[in-house]
Amino acid sequence: MKLKQVMGIDIGGSGIKGAIIDTKNGKLLTERYRIPTPSPANPEQVSDVIGQIVKRFEWKGAIGVGFPAVVQNGIAKTAANIDKSFIGTNIENLISSKTGCPVRVVNDADAAGLAEMKFGAGLKHKGVVILITVGTGIGTVIFTKGKLLPNTELGHIFFSTGLEAENYMSDSARHKFDLSWKEWALRFDEYLKYIEQLFWPDLFIIGGGVSKNENKFIQYLSVKTRIVPAQLQNYAGIIGAALAARKMITDLEGNVLKKVTF
């Protein structure tokens, strides 16, 4: 197995994307291949699509998957923008049986965070870094000294309005409530200040669709923490998923070596 090369797959609400990644430099070795997310997006249908992507590249090595849910030990504990029947499913076993490849599955926001910390806006930053992806929902990732705290779900905290954060200040909420960029930014600033008071980060990285419009809202933010846009955009999830799979294989190989070393 070429450990340097890993397939990364990003499962989204509208599309499932895959590419072969050079995990040494974070570059795509192939074009990103996308298939629309099936409806219903249940385990059988989604794993079939992933099987099609793997077959498209004639891939036989490790696969990393970014999945829109809390994932613990390969098992989905929640389901966002995906069918609820995934809850309780061992996604790693499911995809591995479909493809015949070793598989590592991680939360999709965590995957994006891994990529940004390794190759993007968080490169060489050793303090407390929080990545916030703002799109249809809100994804959050926390790193301290370069180490990931997995499965943070800070997009689901509640405001005094009675709304969850992602229903109050996601990009979809901006459209739903017909907010100007300034009106939306004031809501986002409120959220950032709350997160700042909880974690006192050294850096906020803003990803997702809104990061492309930084110049339309950044001037309205008054939060004290330094803010930078994400750099890897739509490729972060694929790259980060591949990094997670590479680490899985490295850890497995390390454990084997320990067992045979006297």
The pLDDT value recorded for residue 150 is 96
Q: How far apart are CA 19 and CA 53, in angstroms?
A: 9
- Domains of the chain, by residue range, sit at 5-110+235-260, 123-230
pTM of the model: 0.90
* Average predicted confidence (pLDDT) for the chain: 92
pLDDT, tens digit, for every residue of 20-71? 999 999 999 999 999 999 999 999 999 999 999 999 999 999 999 999 999 9
Instruction: Please say if the pLDDT value at position 262 is more than 70.
Output: no
Instruction: Kindly give, in sequence order, each residue whose CB lies less than 8 Å from that of residue 254, ignoring residues fewer than 6 positions away.
Output: none
The pLDDT value recorded for residue 212 is 87
Instruction: Kindly give, in sequence order, each residue whose CB lies less than 8 Å from that of residue 34, ignoring residues fewer than 6 positions away.
Output: 15, 16, 17, 18
The pLDDT value recorded for residue 260 is 46
Average pLDDT over residues 140-165: 91
Average pLDDT over residues 238-247: 96
Q: Positive or negative, the Cα torsion across 156, 152, 103, 114? A: positive
Compute the 3-state secondary structure of the chain and give helix, strand, coil in percent, each to the nearest 5: 45, 25, 35
DSSP at 134 = E
Give the number of residues written for the chain.
Answer: 262
Fold observed for domain 123-230: Nucleotidyltransferase; domain 5 (3.30.420)
The pLDDT value recorded for residue 248 is 87
The pLDDT value recorded for residue 256 is 42
Architecture of domain 5-110+235-260: 2-Layer Sandwich (3.30)
The pLDDT value recorded for residue 253 is 57
Specify whether the CB–CB gap between 47 and 95 falls below 8 A.
yes
The pLDDT value recorded for residue 252 is 67
Q: How sure is the predictor about 259, in pLDDT bands with cuts at 50, 70 and 90?
A: very low
Instruction: Please say if the pLDDT value at position 257 is more than 60.
Output: no
pLDDT, tens digit, for every residue of 161-200? 788 999 999 999 999 999 999 999 999 999 999 999 999 9
Q: How far apart are CA 37 and CA 158, in angstroms?
A: 29
Instruction: Kindly give, in sequence order, each residue whose CB lies less than 8 Å from that of residue 251, ignoring residues fewer than 6 positions away.
Output: none
Work out the percent of the chain whose per-residue pLDDT is above 70: 95
Instruction: Please say if the pLDDT value at position 235 is more than 70.
Output: yes
Instruction: Please say if the pLDDT value at position 81 is more than 90.
Output: no
Radius of gyration over every alpha carbon of the chain, rounded to an integer in angstroms:
18
180-to-124, 149, 161, 184, 217 alpha-carbon distances in Å: 35, 34, 19, 6, 9
pLDDT, tens digit, for every residue of 102-122? 999 999 999 999 999 999 999
Q: Does an H or E element contain 40, and which? A: none
